Each structure stands twice: as structure tokens, then as C-alpha cells.
Amino acid sequence: MAPTKVVARYLDGRVLKGFAFDFFPNRVVFHISPVEAAPGAQAVEVSVSELKAVFFVKDFVGNAKYDDVKAFNSAQVIGRKMTVRFSDGETLAGTTQGYDRQRPGFFLIPADPQSNIERCYVVVAATTEVSNA
């Protein structure tokens, strides 16, 4: 599996940016090689139960001043339109093809095509509301 740029956001506010090689939604742990780690350094084991979400990003810098659009502007939406509110108050809008309350998480594709987030794995336990948009 090729490395994927990810930003893991923990429930306690910590953020870990790096490359994930073994993330699968049905696993309880995966590993991230931090961006700032020295070549050959050991990857960090990440427990999904400690996370708010895993953001699969275009780049690690992003634009802190950019506020993702939380509305859908296209009639050609693939998947189910959803709005997610995390326990820390952050809200994301996007589409999913796999939301099930009984599962520990699901993937969300942002509604905003200009977002730095390509997709997000939402940890259901870290949400206060998941609703149809």
C-alpha cells in the first residue's frame, strides 16, 4: 500500500501529521510516520479509539484562514449528503456511502471541492450529531 498523507486529530486536541501505510476502517490501530521524523524513524502507533477523525489531505500546510463551505453547490452529488458535528463543536458537511450507526466510523467526502481534505474517516464516538443534510 502506498503512503497516504493524513492528519490524525485526537479527542484531547493533539494533532499528528504524517504518512499512513496501513489504515483500514475495520482496524483498531494503524501507524503514522510523522512528517518531522528523521528518515528511518519508527512509525507512531495510533489507536482509533483515541481519535476524533483521520483527515486524508492534499497537503500538510493547508490554509488556516480558509473556512470550508458547509453547503452543497452541485446537483450531481454522489452518495448520501451528511452533516457531522463533532464533540469539540467542529462541523463538516459532505457525502458518504457507508454511514451506519452501528459501525465505529465512516468516510466522508467534503462538500467543498476547494477543501484541503480529500476525505475524512469520522470516528462516530467523537460526534454529537450525524444527520442528513
| CATH T-level fold of 80-132 | SH3 type barrels. (2.30.30)
77 secondary structure, DSSP code: -
Give the Cβ contact number of residue 97 at 10 Å.
Answer: 11
List average pLDDT for each run of 10 residues in the chain, which is 133 residues long: 89 96 94 90 96 96 77 73 95 92 93 91 97 86
Q: Determine whether 84 is exposed, middle or buried from the number of CB atoms within 10 Å of its CB (0-12, 13-18, 19+).
A: buried
Same fold, 4-57 and 80-132: yes
**In the prediction, which pLDDT does 75 show?**
59
Distance (Å, whole) CA 50 – CA 28: 10
Domain ranges for the chain: 4-57, 80-132
pLDDT (0 to 100) of residue 58: 94
Confirm whether pTM is higher than 0.85. yes
The pLDDT value given to residue 82: 94
**Is the domain defined by 4-57 classed in CATH 1.10.3210?**
no
Cα–Cα dist 123/82, whole Å: 14
CA–CA separation, 133 vs 120, rounded Å? 17
Q: Spell out the residues 6+ positions from residue 17 whose beta carbon is closer than 8 angstroms to its own.
A: 6, 7, 8, 34, 35, 60
